[in-house]
């Protein structure tokens, strides 16, 4: 990672050390759960990866929301996950897929928020809901594809 990228990352996480720690925890949790549930596709561009990215954003937003407002948690989640894509670039279609699935996770969290006090979110709320969303997941083939509201993945 270049010096410039390190400075950009530090400029995001240093003002929000608790958010940074919670985001790291969310990253480990989402990766572990996705690997366990979808070992064949969680680490490539398959449907398990779509699940992992959405779950990752649900967890980041949920964990940060426990110590701050939903708006601040959502803003930090978007900024840290977008920065992740910038710091570790992929091919354009892979980047589109990751950013899209990140948004699905953030949107899903916000969809659940009015019905559950933010202090009482459980991992299972997100896991079960995202597994159901996998039933309607779409294959992303072009940068122009628009599958709003659906998880997307790439064909193997």
Alpha helices by DSSP H, the chain: 3-13, 17-37, 47-65, 70-87, 92-112, 123-134
CB atoms near residue 29 (< 10 Å) = 16
Q: What is the pLDDT of residues 28-70, one digit of tens each?
A: 999 999 999 999 998 899 999 999 999 999 999 999 999 999 9
DSSP string, 36-49: HH-TTTTTTTSHHH
62: nearest Cα among 16, 108, 131: 108
**pTM of the model as a whole:** 0.93
Output the tens digit of pLDDT for each of the chain's 156 residues: 789 888 988 998 899 999 999 999 999 999 999 999 999 998 899 999 999 999 999 999 999 999 999 999 999 999 999 999 999 889 999 999 999 999 999 999 999 998 777 666 788 889 999 999 999 999 999 999 999 999 999 987
pLDDT of residue 1: 76
């Amino acid at each position: 990672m270049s010096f410039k990228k390190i400075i950009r990352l530090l400029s995001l996480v240093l003002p929000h050390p608790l958010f940074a720690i919670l985001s790291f925890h969310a990253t480990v949790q989402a990766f572990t759960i996705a690997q366990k549930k979808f070992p064949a596709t969680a680490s490539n561009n398959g449907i398990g990866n779509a699940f992992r990215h959405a779950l990752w954003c649900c967890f980041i937003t949920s964990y940060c929301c426990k110590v701050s407002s939903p708006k601040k948690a959502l803003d930090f989640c978007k900024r840290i996950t977008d920065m992740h894509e910038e710091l570790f670039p992929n091919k354009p279609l892979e980047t589109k897929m990751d950013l899209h699935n990140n948004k699905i996770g953030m949107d899903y969290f916000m969809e659940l928020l009015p019905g559950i006090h933010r202090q009482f979110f459980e991992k299972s709320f997100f896991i079960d809901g995202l597994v159901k969303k996998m039933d309607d997941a779409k294959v992303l083939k072009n940068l122009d594809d628009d599958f709003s509201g659906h998880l997307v993945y790439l064909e193997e």
